[in-house]
C-alpha cells in the first residue's frame, strides 16, 4: 500500500479528521454539485448521511448573511448548491437531499430552462462521442493547430475535456462560431434537443422544486465565460437579463448568482460589479475554499468559495475535503 494512502487511512480511522473539522469550525463550507445519476446515488446518500452527523446544515442565504454582516454561524456550518439545472437532479439528487432534510440552492441557466439550448460543453462531448473520425485538427488562432486522437472512447473523453478548456479561454464569439461548426468537423448531426441525461429542468419543474424547499438561483442566460464576453450589453443580458427572465417565468425573486466555470480568470471586478448592480444578494465561485465571517474584501458575498462535490466524488476524499484538507 502506498505510504500516502496508508497515511490517509490512518488519519480517518484515528480521529484526525475531527481535529481538522474542529480547527475549521468557525468557517463555513458551500458544496458544489452538478449532475446526478442512478449509479452515483449510493455515494451521494453516504455523503449526505455524513453531513447530517458532522455539520450544521443551513441554507446558502444564512452563510451569505454571515459573510455580509460578519456575524458568527454555528460551528461547522455548511450549505449545498447545485449548478446548471439538469433534469437528473429531480430523480437522482433531490429525493436524497430531501430525505436527509438538507436544503439546497440550485443555479439554473435561463435559456436552458426555456428549452432554447443545451449546454455547449455537452454538445461538444456529444459530437466527439459520436464521431467516426479517428482524429481531428482544431485551430483556435493563438493556440495554433491542435491534433486530437479520437480512435477510442478514452481518446474522445480526453479530447472533449481538453477542447472544452481551450474554448473557455477564447473570446465568446469565437467559441460560438466554433460550436456552430463542430458538428461538421465531426461529421455528426447535433440534435436540437439534448439526450435525456443532459436535459434541463423546465420552468414548471423549477417551480415545483422551489415549492418543495429548493432555492433557485441564476447561472446566466447561456452559460458563457463572462470575462470572454465582448461588450457590456452582452454582460447585462447574461446577468440582469437572465435574472429578469427567471423571475418572470418563475414568479418569485432570484437572489443568488453563480459564475459559469467560476475560476479566477472567469470573473473579474467588472463582472462582480455587474452582478451587484443586478441586485443579487450573493454570487458563488468555483474557487476552492471555506468562508469566514471576518474575511475581506467588502464584496466577499459576491465571491463565495465552494468545495467541488460532483456526485461521483470518492467518499474518502470527500470527507477529507469537508474537514478542510486539500485546500
Write out pLDDT tens, residues 166-217.
999 999 999 999 999 999 999 999 999 999 999 999 999 999 999 999 999 9
Residue 192 lies in a domain: no
Compute CA 276 distance to the chain's CA centroid, rounded to the nearest angstrom: 20
Residue 151 burial (C-beta neighbours within 10 Å; 0-12, 13-18, 19+): exposed
* Residues 96, 215 share a domain: yes
Tell whether 301 and 237 lie within a shared domain.
Answer: yes
Ramachandran class of 299: left when φ > 0, alpha when ψ lies in -120 to 50, beta otherwise: alpha
Instruction: Enter the C-alpha cell of residue 283.
Output: 454570487
Q: Is residue 37 part of a domain?
A: yes
Grid coordinates standing for 15? 480521529
pLDDT tens sequence across 87-96? 999 999 999 9
Tell me, yes or no, whether 14 and 156 share the same domain.
no
Residues 149, 281: one domain? no
Same domain, 237 and 160: no
Flag whether 191 is in a domain.
no
Q: Is the Cα dihedral 68, 73, 77, 80 positive or negative?
A: negative
Evaluate whether residue 262 is within a structural domain.
yes
**pLDDT over 70, % of the chain:** 94
Identify the band that residue 106 occupies on the pLDDT scale cut at 50, 70 and 90: very high
**What does the DSSP 8-state code read for residue 214?**
P
**Do the domain assignments include residue 313?**
yes
Q: How far apart are CA 327 and CA 324, in angstroms?
A: 6
Does 306 fall in a domain? yes
Are residue 132 and residue 277 in the same domain, yes or no? no
Mean pLDDT of all residues belonging to the chain: 93
Residue 254 has pLDDT above 70, yes or no: yes
Residue 320: what pLDDT?
93
Give the per-residue pLDDT at 5.
Answer: 56
Q: Are residues 103 and 124 in the same domain?
A: no
Note whether 90 and 224 are same-domain residues. yes
What percent of the chain stands above pLDDT 90? 84
Q: How crowded is residue 70: how many other Cβ atoms within 10 Å of its Cβ?
A: 11
- Residue 157 included in any domain: yes
Boundary residue ending a domain (186, 220, 240): 186
Q: Are 241 and 184 in contact (CB under 8 A)?
A: no
Cα(79)–Cα(314) distance, integer angstroms: 19
Residues whose CB falls within 8 Å of the CB of residue 167, separated by 6 or more in sequence, listed in order: 120, 124, 140, 175, 178, 179
Q: How many domains does the chain have?
A: 2
β-strands 282-288, 304-308 pairing: parallel
Do 211 and 301 reside in the same domain of the chain?
yes
Tell whether 151 and 243 lie within a shared domain. no
pLDDT band, residue 1 (cuts 50/70/90):
very low
Q: What is the structure's pLDDT at 34?
A: 96
CB 304 within 8 Å of CB 64: yes
Considering the domain architecture, whether residues 44 and 157 belong to the same structural domain is answered as no
For cell 479530447, name the residue. 159
Residue 259 in any domain: the answer is yes
> What does the DSSP 8-state code read for residue 93?
T
Predicted confidence at residue 267, as pLDDT, reads 97
317's CB contacts (< 8 A; 6+ apart) are 326
Owning domain of residue 169: 120-186
- Domain with residue 102: its CATH number is 3.20.20.370
d(C-alpha 41, C-alpha 248), whole Å: 33
- Residue at which a domain ends, from 186, 219, 236: 186
- Examine the domain organization and report whether 111 and 126 are in the same domain: no
With CA atoms as reference, report the closest residue to 55 among 32, 93, 16, 25: 25
Closest CA to 257 of 289, 213, 308, 301: 301
Q: How far apart are the first and last CA of the chain?
A: 24
Cell of 55: 455539520
- Please state the rounded mean pLDDT for residues 101-114: 98
Find all residues with CB under 8 Å of 287, minimum gap 6, and list them. 262, 263, 264, 303, 305, 306
- pLDDT of 110 > 80? The answer is yes
Q: How far, in Å, are 116, 144, 187, 259, 282 from residue 226 at the CA level?
A: 20, 24, 30, 8, 16
Amino acid at each position: 500500500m502506498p505510504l500516502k494512502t496508508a497515511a490517509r487511512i490512518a488519519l480517518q480511522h484515528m480521529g484526525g479528521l475531527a481535529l481538522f473539522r474542529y480547527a475549521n469550525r468557525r468557517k463555513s463550507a458551500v458544496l458544489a454539485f452538478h449532475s446526478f445519476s442512478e449509479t452515483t446515488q449510493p455515494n451521494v446518500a453516504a455523503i449526505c448521511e455524513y453531513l447530517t452527523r458532522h455539520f450544521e446544515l443551513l441554507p446558502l442565504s444564512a452563510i451569505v448573511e454571515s459573510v455580509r454582516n460578519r456575524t458568527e454561524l454555528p460551528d461547522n456550518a455548511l450549505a449545498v448548491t447545485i449548478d446548471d439545472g439538469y433534469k437528473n437532479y429531480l430523480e437522482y439528487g433531490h429525493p436524497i437531499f430531501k430525505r436527509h432534510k438538507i436544503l439546497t440552492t440550485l443555479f439554473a441557466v435561463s435559456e436552458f430552462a426555456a428549452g432554447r439550448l443545451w449546454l455547449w460543453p455537452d454538445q461538444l462531448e456529444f459530437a466527439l462521442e459520436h464521431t467516426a473520425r479517428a482524429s481531428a485538427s482544431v485551430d483556435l488562432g493563438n493556440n495554433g493547430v491542435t491534433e486530437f486522437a479520437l480512435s477510442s472512447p478514452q481518446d474522445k473523453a480526453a479530447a472533449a475535456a481538453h477542447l472544452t478548456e481551450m474554448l473557455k479561454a477564447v473570446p465568446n464569439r469565437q467559441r460560438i462560431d466554433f460550436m456552430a461548426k463542430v458538428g461538421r468537423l465531426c461529421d455528426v448531426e447535433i440534435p436540437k434537443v439534448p439526450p435525456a441525461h443532459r436535459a434541463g429542468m423546465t420552468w414548471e419543474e423549477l417551480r415545483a422544486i422551489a415549492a418543495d424547499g429548493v432555492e433557485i438561483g441564476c447561472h446566466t442566460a447561456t452559460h458563457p465565460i463572462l470575462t470572454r464576453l465582448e461588450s457590456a450589453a452582452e454582460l447585462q443580458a447574461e446577468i440582469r437579463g437572465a435574472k429578469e427572465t427567471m423571475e418572470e417565468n418563475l414568479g418569485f425573486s432570484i437572489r443568488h448568482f453563480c459564475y459559469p466555470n467560476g475560476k479566477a480568470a472567469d470573473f473579474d471586478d467588472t463582472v462582480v460589479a455587474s452582478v451587484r448592480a443586478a441586485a443579487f444578494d450573493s454570487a458563488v465561485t468555483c474557487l476552492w475554499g471555506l468562508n469566514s465571517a471576518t474575511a475581506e474584501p467588502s464584496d466577499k458575498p459576491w465571491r463565495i468559495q465552494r468545495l467541488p462535490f460532483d456526485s461521483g466524488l470518492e467518499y474518502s476524499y470527500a470527507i477529507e475535503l469537508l474537514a478542510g484538507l486539500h485546500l
